[in-house]
Structure 1
Amino acid sequence: MSTHVLSAMITVLVLCAAAFAATDSYIPTAPPEDAVMAAPEEIQAVMDWAQRAFLGESPEDTKAVRIDVLRQDHNVLNFGRSCMETPITIGEQVFAHGLGTHANSELLVQVPEGAAHFKALVGVDLNDDTRNGSGSVRFFVQAGDKTLYESPVKKGGEAASEVDVEIPAGTATLLLRADMTDDGVSCDQCDWANGHFVMADGNLRYLDEYQNPLLLEGSQQPFSFRYGDQESTVVLPDWKREVNSEETDSARVMHITWTDPATSLAVTAEVKVFKRYPVVDWVLYFENRGNAPTPVISEIQALDAQLRTGHPRKSAMLHELEGDACGVTSFLPKQEALAVGNELRRAPTGGRPSSISAFPWFHFEYEGQGFIGAIGWTGQWASRFSRAQNGPTRVQAGMEKTAMYLEPGEKIRSPRIVVMPYSGDRTRAHNQWRRLVLFEYAPRIDGRPVQLPTALQTFDRYHRGPDWATEAGQLDAVENAAKLGCDTYWFDAAWFPGGFPNGVGNWSAKPEAFPNGLKPIGNACAERGMRFVLWFEPERVAEASEIAREHPEFVHGGEKGGLFKLDDPNARRWLTELLSTRIAEYGVTVYRNDFNIDPLEFWRRNDPPNREGITEIRYVEGLYEMWDELRARHPGLWIDNCSSGGRRIDIEMCGRSVPLWRSDTNCWDSNADWNQAQTAALSPYVPLHTACAWRPESYLTRSAATGGLLCQFDYRNVAFPMDTASALIEEAQANRFAWYGDFYPLTPARTAPDEFVAYQFHRADLDAGVVLAFRRAECRYKGLILGIHGINQNATYEVEYLDGNGGVVKKTLPGAELGDSLELRIDAPGSTRIVRYKKSKP
């Protein structure tokens, strides 16, 4: 790059950064109220589902007639459409109202107060299966033991028969039956068309109106377990139930406790139903309130629900990400169809929740409906999606193995489950989810989600050098971070005796290299207004380390080293004190917790007989308690969650921390294309994460930049281009306002070198955003013309096009053009373009 072009690039980037950063770097405290947010009726549907599922009750103010499906042998009950998911049609008549079912079925309908008559038109649904006369069904309406109506045999293609029954006095429920005949159940798709109650005042109450529109079925508790040799669905109805509710600004929180009168086992579901999102969050607790050990509690499924995937000839789809494998596949999207009679099982590798074989965030889709879900368990979770031959799907998730009794007074918890049903636009649903995680789960500082750092972190480049990991070397690094314009300095695994990895378990500064400890580095960061990130790996203990020598009783593995016993309260309290002391002593503002060990075999080897899963539970609970305690003791502290990169990214961890080193693919150079794919894949689920660039080149820094940027720059090289690097960091800082908005993938998340890649981050509250585009090294295409999202078609926008060599073009564009035909042209392979836009001021 020529001196002239370099100078121009620096000038342009600094001016652009100043123009946008002055106001747009503001981090919002709450989501905007716009069309992305769920409508009131969408939120109410989820609130109603939660009340029905957890309490078995319909809301007091519901307008829906309660219908319990006692039996349906094929497909699922549909409201306002047939079980074949077509308009309800009997003979040649199409109906706007009704129930679509399939023999054999039994529907228990609650009679509303004041109902005088029940009316319907019944028959075999007319569709491609029945048009030739196939299907034969008989319909019955019963009140208790009394049959109020019995139809003749109805066949495909025939006109409907009329049902008109008077409701006997005192009748609480009607049973609507549809039975197959002697020719079998084939094609017995049938309808209760226009089914309704005629009220005493003449009003009509249609059975299909105001019913649950969600993919999630809500007829029973959405969790399960075995108690002794019995299923929870069998025992819970006979247990005492207590319900307590409280209202917060953001949610209704229910505590529902079922207590076994014989053994005093109490099972509590802590359920949070959000007020601004169509989302339910729950955790189960099991507590022995008796005086003797309980029977064995096993097969605990924190999520166990039915999905209304009714049509057996239509596939459902599971969308998910690969776990982090420190390679080309890390976090890549994948999808797998779920046909009838099949199942999909998922579990991570080795006890770390997002490691290699699975990722604990997913999206299940069926015919324009779906739900996004997250499993909050920093351990060995497992999920199963199994689809029955007749259509419906059962989804289960929990710990992979549980079978334990509880001692008197003992209490355990389950994984956290978070579900967000939706209908329609998948991208809108994912942006609702992003907003949920950002504003309801992500750590906050001074009332706002944390600001991701622009940090100098050069451990992988310099840690073998003789003078870098010293007090003088680190003070020089802090000074260079400040010159670069970073807001954070990051000191990784080079400060303790023994070094990495042999010194893990020695959590004090090397005395010869740091005679004053690390406080001078913390002070230097504070004086320059920068955060100080310091690396620890407290859960892994090396042989011959201080902890292994002096406290072998705190280690699974003893003096030989192994896994620190966070499952032991005494060990956890000791470690918490040590870490808290170091945080205060060194002036740490971001505590970085790495975890480079698979804990699963340690957990399982240490389970006592008839206590399978207890060590894992106590360990995970201990981890959460330790992190919560550190945050409580040090206001303003936040935590970087690392585990050989991104192998511990679950929603429990994202509520306490941020994955700043999202994958160990950051540990070496030349992974820019992987960085682009990881950003595009993770961002619909996890809004806050960062990645690393090794050289100050626009293609590399833009590929790595998210809401922050980590830099492994060779700043000690006398030829290092400090001004260029500073300009690129400032560019990343100018763009990061947009990362706290909505995400729109403009091309698929892939890693192939011949791809053209583009994605958009949009701040609806500012009517502004950023588009990043990349022409990879082997891409033959010079550009794309495409529409971008969130644009007001009637507005005008100020637009900046920034290439990677200092060129900038400014335009004023009508919203109709920007939203429909934005041109992303990149002339050279291995190059990049940024488009910034903002609505023009009146």
Structure 2
Amino acid sequence: MFLAIASLLCCAPAGAVLDIPQTPVQDAVMASAAESASLLDWADRAFGNPSGVGSGLELTLRRQDHSVLHVNRSCIETPLRIGGRAFDHGLGTHSNSEIAVRLPDGAQRFRAFCGVDNNDDTGGKRGSVVCSVEVDGKECFRSDVLRGGDEPAHVDVEIPAGASELVLKVDGTDDGPACDQTDWADAEILFADGTARRLDEGQSDTLLGVNGPPFSFVYGGASSDSLLSGWQRVSERKDTDAGPAYAATWTDPATGLRVAAEARVFAPYAAAEWLLTFTNTGSADTPILESIQALDVALRSGYAKNPLLLHRNSGDSCDDRSFLESVETVAAGRAFRMAPVGGRPSNQAFPFFRVQYGAEQVVAAVGWSGQWAASVERSGEGPARLRAGMEETHFTLHPGESVRSPRILLMPGGADTWALQNRFRRLMLFEYVPKADGRPVALPAALQCFDRYVWTRDDWATEAGQLAAARFAKSAGFDTLWLDAAWFEGGFPNGVGNWYYKPKAFPNGLKPVGDLCDELGLKFVVWFEPERVAKGSEIAREHPDYVFGGGEGGLFRLDLPEAREWLTELLSRRIAESGIDIYRNDFNIDPLDYWRRNDAPDRRGITEIRYVEGLYRMWDDLRARHPGLMIDNCASGGRRIDLELCMRSIPFWRSDTNCSPSHCDWNQAQTLGMCPYVPLNMACAWQPDAYEMRSAGTAGIICQWHYMDESFPLEEGRKALAEVMENRPYWYGDLYPVAGFSPDEGHWSAFQFHRPDLDAGLVLVFRRAKSAYTGLAAGLRGVRPDRSYEVTFIDGDHGRTEKTMTGAELGDAELRLPKARGSLIVRYRAAG
């Protein structure tokens, strides 16, 4: 068989050059000028100079008992209307409220119309308030009782020279606060030079609120909300091509605790990221620092009757639920909390999610490769808070000691969910994922047959077997050979901790295999699981002090610098001597109990922090020592995916559902669940048929083919693999679902990838085995209705039909699959 494989090399198909974009297209998917300006203003208020920002008058909402203060709409988000008169400008509030306006020099008069807003809730008759205006503490205007349906009261107040503050008050009456929605319409300040400034001008009215730093903690039993205003604050802003970068610090003069925030804004995306560091600059241990929330922001979901939605992902559970999307409704007075299981960040939870309120949304990502937690908590009046951080922090810091927080990324946006999700995909692709030559990395097409052959073919996991596998991979059209957990003494799982080669199976190590891969133009992937140590393994015997669990085995201690440095050196040596191009790091252990058992009562969370910091340092050191090295992030499949590891690695093996065959429909659903947040990931096909290969193919693919069998259909495999490789460039474009997210075999699945830079795209369509439907209306996005496109339809037998269609025809095309368990590919490109 091995000689036959070698004879096929001359038949290998030529792969097309992979066209990967380098920068995003500046189109309607990207942030508008208004969205970018709003986010910049938010970041300035959060991390920059806390006063004097924004283009409008300085307003401070000191009190509002219900909902939130809105600009140019009522507090229940309806157009401003008092009695029978509609207004385009003004402030929408609710009793009891107090709005303070800092008066600029030259302010001479304040004018407005006030009254109960006329909407479906007040019904033109409900609600009663009294409005008043104060200047420097002196009341200058007080209305009669204003009731629902009354015409607006006119306000005209003279402002004395030198006055500094104007206060607008709304007080309820004896009938209670119900329906006391009140407007200050056409509110403006007139100046001595004849100009006027409306109070609504330049005011932010978005879902993402800010009234202080967007994080919180408890220190010495006191909340940071009450502490930080009394601490020394320093902020520096540096403008970059992408947007401003901030370095802000808050220092406690009493104990020397310094909180540092490093933040940056991606202006074209209207996104902000930050990372906190806590340092004890004093000479004694600090008081207890606890409940650190790296993200703690207000969500201005003001109207209690309007739903606040949390769109979340289930993470990996190695079943049909892996990476499924779900929606939670957070009603007024309720909360919803998320956290992974066991310390791996995407183990049955996912640190990427989206919050939606009406026509506004915020995408959030947490970068923490440990036990994070996030919550959305909504008050009974309607407003909410979004929080995220480590699940448990309660510790003192020693003199000179520093710890870091999870990394936070926020991207607010409007009503178009998939414009926002694709803006986030672009941000991940062009600013976060690993690069090669300035572009997002190209993913491999890999032959990987561990699960198929390691238990059934003794001749596979040998030097001769892997040399033959490399030759077959080249002949079939793969660009990568993948050797999983089959090369080290003791085997999987009992040999983890023995990171040396099986002497009989690989007497020369893996160098001969790596050398042949290099000669054939293949990349070489090799599996390691360095953080889990089996009892009796070399590490457990010779370095028990490097293991949580000692000689009995357990978790390798990446929290210890000397242990991490030793392991980094070992891995680096294996990478170099074996010619490894892709380092595969698996992690089949829940670390949380090990971390927490190691913590002292006054140091809860420190072991986890040091471990996670050690993981980042080890991977960063490996990438620095081996330029071009790719890291495959695996943890029993896709259970350790988060923003930080997406900056360093790609989840090639996104779920252990790939370890067994017959999960095509799950693969389709996983693609739709993961790719809105993690654009580069991979899955595995066990057979070379079109349905399975199309279900598993992404920007790369893994195949566990039965290539060692004489009956293997090589030509079918070549054809199916070539098709997947031709599809790869489209996966770097925008994603639009065409059919549902469910893995149910009675449904269809379909999704579109559109490359706006090429005006070209790909549609993958699947009719599952138990679906009774034979057609699907495409409803494609991105194509231009009046433009001509060259369209190729590729059926399940790889037969092709070419057509020229207008964008309108293509967008509304009916896609038909007459047979169940059928698939269709549609590729299109603008003509001319």
TM range (shorter): over 0.9
Say if 2:47 and 2:235, in contact at 8 Å, map to a contact too: no
For 2:103 and 2:720, the matched residues in 1 are separated by 68
Which range is displaced more, 137-146 or 233-242? 137-146
Partner residue of 1:33 out of 5, 9, 26 = 26
Give per-residue Cα distances to partners, 1:581-612, cap 9 Å, x unaligned.
Answer: 11111111111000000000000000012011
For 1:409 and 1:528, the matched residues in 2 are separated by 53
Say if 1:770 and 1:837, in contact at 8 Å, map to a contact too: yes
Matches within 5 A, 1:387-406: 387-406=378-397
AA in 2 matched with 1:631: R
For 2:781 and 2:124, the matched residues in 1 are separated by 47
Structure 1 residue 52: deviation in Å?
A: 1.2
Structure 1 residue 34: deviation in Å?
A: 1.4
Matches within 5 A, 1:185-584: 185-356=177-348, 358-464=349-455, 465-584=457-576
Structure 1 residue 335: deviation in Å?
A: 0.4
Structure 1 residue 117: deviation in Å?
A: 1.5
Give per-residue Cα distances to partners, 1:564-584, cap 9 Å, x unaligned.
Answer: 001111111111111111111
Give per-residue Cα distances to partners, 1:44-68, cap 9 Å, x unaligned.
Answer: 11010111123463565x3222212
For 2:156 and 2:49, the matched residues in 1 are separated by 30
Structure 1 residue 406: deviation in Å?
A: 0.2
Say if 1:51 and 1:59, in contact at 8 Å, map to a contact too: no
AA in 2 matched with 1:47: L
Give per-residue Cα distances to partners, 1:750-806, cap 9 Å, x unaligned.
Answer: 111111111000100000010000010111111112321111122110000000113
Give per-residue Cα distances to partners, 1:98-143, cap 9 Å, x unaligned.
Answer: 1000001111222234332111101111123323532111112222
- What is the aligned partner in structure 1 of residue 5 from structure 2? none
Matches within 5 A, 1:794-805: 794-805=786-797
Say if 2:107 and 2:161, in contact at 8 Å, map to a contact too: no
SS at match of 2:269: coil
AA in 1 matched with 2:314: E
Give per-residue Cα distances to partners, 1:782-833, cap 9 Å, x unaligned.
Answer: 11123211111221100000001132110011122112x2121111101100
SS at match of 2:763: strand
AA in 2 matched with 1:342: R
Matched, 1:45 2:38: yes
AA in 2 matched with 1:414: S
Structure 1 residue 714: deviation in Å?
A: 0.6
For 2:240 and 2:183, the matched residues in 1 are separated by 43
Give per-residue Cα distances to partners, 1:420-440, cap 9 Å, x unaligned.
Answer: 001121110000000000100
For 2:781 and 2:674, the matched residues in 1 are separated by 19
Give per-residue Cα distances to partners, 1:182-220, cap 9 Å, x unaligned.
Answer: 222121110101111123332321112222132111122
For 1:373 and 1:648, the matched residues in 2 are separated by 17
Give per-residue Cα distances to partners, 1:303-358, cap 9 Å, x unaligned.
Answer: 111101011111111001112000010001100111101110111000011102x1
For 1:56 and 1:751, the matched residues in 2 are separated by 49
Say if 2:48 and 2:237, in contact at 8 Å, map to a contact too: no
SS at match of 1:439: helix
Matched, 1:124 2:77: no
Matches within 5 A, 1:715-754: 715-754=707-746
AA in 1 matched with 2:649: S
For 1:208 and 1:59, the matched residues in 2 are separated by 16
Matches within 5 A, 1:85-100: 85-100=77-92
Partner residue of 2:638 out of 641, 646, 658 = 646
Structure 1 residue 168: deviation in Å?
A: 2.2
- What is the aligned partner in structure 2 of residue 6 from structure 1? none
Matched, 1:700 2:689: no
Q: Relative to 1, partners in 2 of residues 1:243 and 1:132: Cα closer, same or farther, differing over 3 Å?
A: closer
For 1:111 and 1:722, the matched residues in 2 are separated by 79
Partner residue of 2:47 out of 51, 54, 57 = 54
For 1:249 and 1:499, the matched residues in 2 are separated by 50
- What is the aligned partner in structure 1 of residue 706 from structure 2? 714
Say if 2:47 and 2:247, in contact at 8 Å, map to a contact too: no
Matches within 5 A, 1:817-832: 817-819=809-811, 821-832=812-823
Partner residue of 2:765 out of 739, 763, 773 = 773
For 1:823 and 1:278, the matched residues in 2 are separated by 36
Which range is displaced more, 360-369 or 193-202? 193-202
Structure 1 residue 686: deviation in Å?
A: 1.0
Runs of 4+ aligned residues of structure 1 deviating over 4 Å after TM superposition are none
Say if 1:68 and 1:219, in contact at 8 Å, map to a contact too: no
Q: Percent identity?
A: 54
AA in 1 matched with 2:241: D
For 1:768 and 1:441, the matched residues in 2 are separated by 24
Say if 2:118 and 2:124, in contact at 8 Å, map to a contact too: no
SS at match of 1:292: coil
For 1:453 and 1:113, the matched residues in 2 are separated by 64
Give per-residue Cα distances to partners, 1:687-728, cap 9 Å, x unaligned.
Answer: 000000000000000000000111000110011111111111
Partner residue of 1:609 out of 597, 601, 615 = 601
Which range is displaced more, 41-50 or 551-560? 41-50
AA in 2 matched with 1:37: M
Say if 1:51 and 1:58, in contact at 8 Å, map to a contact too: no
Say if 2:489 and 2:498, in contact at 8 Å, map to a contact too: yes
Which range is displaced more, 193-202 or 647-656? 193-202
For 2:450 and 2:569, the matched residues in 1 are separated by 27
For 1:528 and 1:118, the matched residues in 2 are separated by 79
Matched, 1:833 2:808: no
Say if 2:48 and 2:236, in contact at 8 Å, map to a contact too: no
Q: Relative to 1, partners in 2 of residues 1:638 and 1:108: Cα closer, same or farther, differing over 3 Å?
A: same
SS at match of 2:521: coil
Which range is displaced more, 111-120 or 286-295? 111-120
For 2:540 and 2:611, the matched residues in 1 are separated by 18
Structure 1 residue 747: deviation in Å?
A: 1.0
AA in 2 matched with 1:722: L
For 2:296 and 2:798, the matched residues in 1 are separated by 55
What is the TM-score with the length of structure 1 in the denominator? 0.96
Q: Relative to 1, partners in 2 of residues 1:838 and 1:291: Cα closer, same or farther, differing over 3 Å?
A: same
* Number of matched pairs: 821
For 1:351 and 1:59, the matched residues in 2 are separated by 43
Structure 1 residue 244: deviation in Å?
A: 2.1
For 2:48 and 2:254, the matched residues in 1 are separated by 22
- Which residues of structure 2 form unaligned runs of 5+? 1-10
Q: Relative to 1, partners in 2 of residues 1:403 and 1:702: Cα closer, same or farther, differing over 3 Å?
A: same
For 1:340 and 1:608, the matched residues in 2 are separated by 39
AA in 2 matched with 1:833: L
Structure 1 residue 76: deviation in Å?
A: 0.7
Which range is displaced more, 738-747 or 106-115? 106-115
For 1:252 and 1:53, the matched residues in 2 are separated by 13
SS at match of 1:195: strand
For 1:509 and 1:525, the matched residues in 2 are separated by 18
Please, what is the CA RMSD of the aligned residues? 1.4
- Which residues of structure 1 form unaligned runs of 5+? 1-13
